[in-house]
Structure 1
Amino acid sequence: MMFKGAFGLAAAFAALTSALPTAQNSTSSVNGTASTGSGSGSGGGVTIFNNLDTDLYAWSVADSGDAPMVTLSANGGTYSENWRTNPNGGGISIKLATKPDQSDVLQYEYTLSGDTIFWDLSCINMGVNSEFTKKGFSVYPSDPQCPKAECAPGDTACSDAYLVPTDDHATHGCPAGTHFDLHIGSSGN
């Protein structure tokens, strides 16, 4: 996660709570629509919308174990995930790719800490000619007080996402109950 240094207190709190039991996650996929639930009851989470003419592949990655790949069908496939915690106290990274491997990825990263969800978009592991850059992507929160992130098609220097590890201005904090819509391709707004 790009913002782990900035949130040492959040990491300490998360490490303290990591000893508590956690709910099991479940994943399902039907016709390019997938969802993952944690049973956390926070009400917050993220839904990713694939507006591209090609399938997208997603992995929700914590610190251990292989994350199963989920396919988001072209032109309308979705993936939803309720906030969950990483057993080591760090964050979660949802890696998105246009090929069924974890190269050339756009990452939606988040860390749940108490009543706050810290989140960002990272382009650090994307190639120069990425479909994500060509088609654009955006994040819209359900809470109007939370910042949105928009990277227009062709914007190779989008200030709303991490381009280098020190772009800490791209990390945001919102109430944990906030739900985010991440659109790949046309914004949906």
Structure 2
Amino acid sequence: MLRSKHGASKSAHHERKPGAWISGSIKPESFLPGLAIGFLLGLLVKLPNNFRRITNTGAKTARVNSTRPVRSDGNSDEVKMVFVVRQDLKMGAGKIASQCAHAATGIYGALMRSQQALLNKWEQCGQPKIVVTCKNQQEMNKLQAVAEKIGLLTFIVADAGRTQVSAGSRTVLAIGPGTKAVVDSVTGKLRLL
């Protein structure tokens, strides 16, 4: 008797059509309104950024800047950004990547609000980003102070503490973008990750 039940459930399981789970989980009465709301929210989020970019730089300039990057020839006008990762926290590779992404988006947002011309120049140079390491929080604090003293923008990521490190741990310091020579004066002696 057990065999016949087992055999029946096994054959019923194999008779399901591929993709049947999706038709059972999406209700037509909620799908289209949800899709429309998502589309409209996307437009609302994008519209202010596009308007700000056009009014600040001019549509013609923005189009030229985004399609024709400046070649990197190693001169002092090249700009770059550096991420300084603390070694003492012993974060895994995925955690480091995530924290660097937080630092990049944080400093990018600050640049959009306050230094649009610098952001445009960094984008023209191909958005160079370098990841280096520091020993501990004290060294990170010193690097931040030096960078800010010479006028570089900084951003520190404080972790939420959900995975590998304690809540509030300062994991990554983003410095720049700034000219290669100026950024290297702060981070040039640090080891690459």
TM (normalized to structure 1)?
0.29
Q: Pick the structure with more helix per residue.
A: 2
TM (normalized to structure 2)?
0.29
Q: Pick the structure with more strand per residue.
A: 1
Larger radius of gyration: 2
